[in-house]
Amino acid sequence: MRIALLAHVRQPIAEPFMGGMESHSWHLADGLVRRGHDVVLFASGDSDPRFAIDPVLDQHYERTFPWAEHKGSAPLIAHVDAGYAAACDRIAQGGFDVVHNNSLHRFPLEPARTANVPTVTSLHVPPYDALHWFVKASPAPTHRLTVTSAEQMRAWFPGGAPPEARVLHNGIDPAAWPFHAAGEGAVWCGRVTPNKGTHLAAQAARAAGVPLTIYGMIEDPDYWEQLVVPHLDATVRYGGHLRGAELAAAIGRAAVFLFTPCWDEPFGLVAIEAMACGLPVAAIDRGAAREVIGEAGCFAAPDDVPALAAAIRQAVSIPRRIPRERVERLFSRDRWLDRCEDLYAEVIAARTARAA
């Protein structure tokens, strides 16, 4: 198949990944290319050059319009809109069999566009006003919507999902996250921002008497300085923002992973990456945490640091084969890519039937 993969453009689609959306698009492009598909990545021009890139913007917009300063501003909206409008026009004229839309932008959802080029749109966030009504109006025979969990499906469609909407769990390559039979201490990774709850991980690890290493991009410097740095010491430290193989090795050396969402997390890619390495999870029970982690973790109520500390102490007793086997059974890259290809075939068949 000739596939247009339309990505989000706040950050480049390149390692070290700034977050789950960038990782999702990179691994989707890599997996589809490995399966023999002709993939063009529509992303920022400073994304990974190993892919065939058609730039939506010359460089990711965080560099041009930093989110902290320009969120919701007219110049940023106009900049991004112009890039996606032109990219959607090029896709329409590019002879693509299907579009996989990871952009979280309204233009690729327009019925005239999805009728012209069959589209699968993956929603990576809870519903929000700027996209909500465009999503609700978009289901069609040549357009499928995917969410990453049943919990996210209920959030987007509380009155019942349309038949065109499906749960498509994220997947990873277990070989890229090698299993470790034992480890010491706790680890947390992700974007360091308030809704990821880094400060709660630091507080709970200290309360549990377990050393903690934090990995990830410091997205919100004010949050970092005010709520995380005060907890850093000899037992709670920052390990930097690492690339995939280095991060996998660092995670694998730990005994337990801390997952601390302060919002309704739609999935939690970092959790399954850690689980693949053999780490049981101590998690805040929000969003899809329990759906994803299951028997591989212990859970605490939101904002309950003592309960999270207790979950840390309990989780370390979970045999490490349990989280690894859960990933291999439910969240492998091959399972994920198989389902993507099935969805592409559905929307392509719908276009063929309509033309006939």
CA dihedral 44, 125, 258, 297 (to 10 degrees): -130
Structure tokens at 1: 């198949």
CA torsion, points 55, 166, 188, 197, in degrees to nearest 10?
A: 90
Q: How do residues 257-289 score in pLDDT, each as one tens digit?
A: 999 999 999 999 999 999 999 999 999 999 999
Domains of the chain: 2-171+332-355 (3.40.50.2000), 174-330 (3.40.50.2000)
- Asked if 142 and 354 count as a contact pair (C-beta separation under 8 A), the reply is yes
Which is nearest to 242 in space by CA: 288, 177, 315? Answer: 177
| Per-residue pLDDT reduced to its tens digit, 37-71 | 999 999 999 999 999 999 999 999 988 888 778 77
Cα gap 101→146, rounded to integer Å: 10
Token pair in block for residue 322: 């349990």
In degrees and rounded to multiples of 5, residue 70 shows phi and psi of -120, 10
Which residues, 6+ apart, have CB-to-CB distance to 231 below 8 Å?
199, 202, 203, 206
Residues 283, 299: contact at Cβ < 8 Å? Answer: yes
Quote the pTM value.
0.92
Q: Is the pLDDT of residue 356 over 80?
A: no
Q: How many other β-carbons are positioned within 10 Å of the β-carbon of residue 3? A: 22
Q: Per residue in 66-95, pLDDT tens?
A: 877 877 789 899 999 999 999 999 999 999
Token pair in block for residue 24: 């999702």
* CA dihedral over 203, 238, 273, 318, signed as positive or negative: negative
